[in-house]
Amino acid sequence: MSGHSPVICHFLNLLLYFQMVQIKRICCIGAGYVGGPTCSVIAQMCPEITVTVVDVNESRIKAWNSETLPIYEPGLKEVVESCRNTNLFFSTDIDSAIRDADLVFISVNTPTKTYGMGKGRAADLKFIEACARRIVEVSDGYKIVTEKSTVPVRAAESIRRIFDANTKPSLNLHVLSNPEFLAEGTAVKDLKEPDRVLIGGDETTEGQAAIRALCAVYEHWVPKERIITTNTWSSELSKLTANAFLAQRISSINSISALCEATGADVEEVAKAIGMDQRIGSKFLKASVGFGGSCFQKDVLNLVYLCEALNLPEVASYWQQVIDMNEYQRRRFACRIIDCLFNTVTGKKIALLGFSFKKDTGDTRESSSIYISKYLLDEGAKLFIYDPKVVKEQIVYDLSQPNISEDNPQRVSELVTVTTDPYDACQSAHALVICTEWDMFKELDYEKIYKKMLKPAFIFDGRRLLDHLHPLLQEIGFQIETIGKKVTPARIPYNPAPVGPRVPPTEPPTKKSKA
């Protein structure tokens, strides 16, 4: 090609790379909430690609290969069963899967550091680094290594430095960033009908070829106009920024909910009014006891730490307020429960319905239920907890963490009872607290519950789930306290009309549309 211009040579080289790089085998390191669903959908949508999800946790891999998957997500079981052991495999043989793969996803946990510099804010990248070292150790030939985990800006550069420092003649590794934008409870739908797919890489010929190869995988089912390519740093920062903006909206409407309770306004009416403004929109304006989950708090704190490290204290302070407002909302709700129960909950039975951080998932990470439970346990309340998808062992584990039961670890065994029936949880309770917006809680027989509770019987609706039932619940005799609204007790003669079905459903209904 010596007779061609540099531009033509570059184009021909790029075309050659595009032809050479084809992804036929994918390995995903990490079988959690990101790796499992993502690779299951890829396998279903790309039957010609072999997908292997690996993890060091043997029990988790066994669960993925069983009838009972390790995570609950609507529609996920059907996706897994449609291609498992055909072109979708779950294994603990990490090295073999890496060696055989053309593309390696890194989908391991990136928790917030609990010690050392950046404690409580910075992301702990020890698992990312371990993956990078293992990949370079066992690999040969050409491979594309892609960040799927949420990572701080320039994490891809760190991975690349590890690769460059341990290179060998037979090895050619390229690093991409491909952050996930999944909402738990709608993950399968989000994967099959994404708002966008974001892929970041470097601007070299090889980097662009790697980007194009990953684009080709998603183009099996995602329209090309929804696949966005950027440089690596923009991709990494876009993920953090997306979660920070969503968390910010929740904290913003929650701050207004406090104002509504003080003035007599209704936060639902305020949210509807401002949400009709196309510049604002209606999404994520639902007042509640606060956001939870694996990403929002972690990513905002990561953003705060990044800003501090780059000497941007005003920006860091701005985003820290999002976290502070979320904690304030949880604490404020717990204080409201205590105040309404005559300023003491010591020895009182409180039924807490819902422990996962949102409906349609069994994930409890950073769930507001954990922190509300902590505040009530600190006051000596006896909690009876029910959640349709969270097992007893997980609830006990979460409430036994040092930051939750720091004064007396025995408090959980003495004061917490996990029930398998919502009606049992409410038997002889002073109050019923709704912390998760499971649809089944709308359908409970509240007349039956009222008769079993101590009087006055309180409902604390932390999710505004029962707004439509307020007149009937007041007619029965409940005192209702809800986020962002003053509820005046109705002076209506009691009419024993049933509010919901007499028999509680055993499972929450399947979600049919995106939340």
The reply to whether 358 sits in an annotated binding site is yes
pLDDT, one tens digit per residue, over 504-514 is 444 444 444 44
Q: Is 365 annotated as a binding residue?
A: yes
Give the long-range contacts of residues 397-406, CB within 8 A, separation 24 or more. 398/355, 398/364, 398/367, 398/370, 399/370, 399/373, 399/374, 404/370, 404/371, 404/373, 404/374, 405/374, 405/377
Average pLDDT, the chain: 90
Determine if residue 463 is labeled as part of a ligand binding site: yes
pLDDT band, very low/low/confident/very high, at 503 (cuts 50, 70, 90): very low
**What is the rounded distance in angstroms from the CA atom of residue 46 to the CA atom of residue 100?**
18
Q: Where in the sequence numbering do the catalytic residues fall?
A: 295
Check whether 25 is labelled as a binding-site residue. Answer: no
Helix, strand and coil percent figures for the chain, each rounded to 5 = 45, 15, 40
14 is in an annotated binding site: no
DSSP state of 112: B
**Residue 103 — very low, low, confident or very high, per pLDDT cuts 50/70/90?**
very high
Residue range 38-77, pLDDT digits in tens? 999 999 999 999 999 999 999 999 999 999 999 999 999 9
pTM for this prediction = 0.85
Query: Across residues 303-319, what is the average pLDDT?
Result: 95
Top-confidence residue, 186 or 122? 186
Predicted local confidence at residue 489, as pLDDT: 56
Residue-level pLDDT at 5 = 60
Known binding residue 284? Answer is: no
Domains by residue range for the chain, with CATH: 19-222 (3.40.50.720), 324-482 (3.40.50.720)
Cis peptide before 456 (omega within 30 of 0): yes
- Is 290 annotated among the ligand-binding residues? yes
Q: Residues with Cβ < 8 Å from 458, sequence gap 6 or more?
A: 337, 340, 341, 430, 431, 432, 478, 479, 480, 481
Mean pLDDT, range 401-427, rounded to an integer:
90
Q: Which carries the bigger pLDDT value, residue 496 or residue 450?
A: 450
Was 110 annotated as part of a binding site? Answer: yes
Residue type, 227: I
Stretch (H or E) spanning 224 = none
Q: Known binder of ligand: residue 291? A: yes
- Measured distance CA(37)–CA(147) in Å, rounded: 16
Nearest CA to 326 out of 283, 371, 362 is that of 371
Q: For residue 499, is pLDDT > 70? A: no
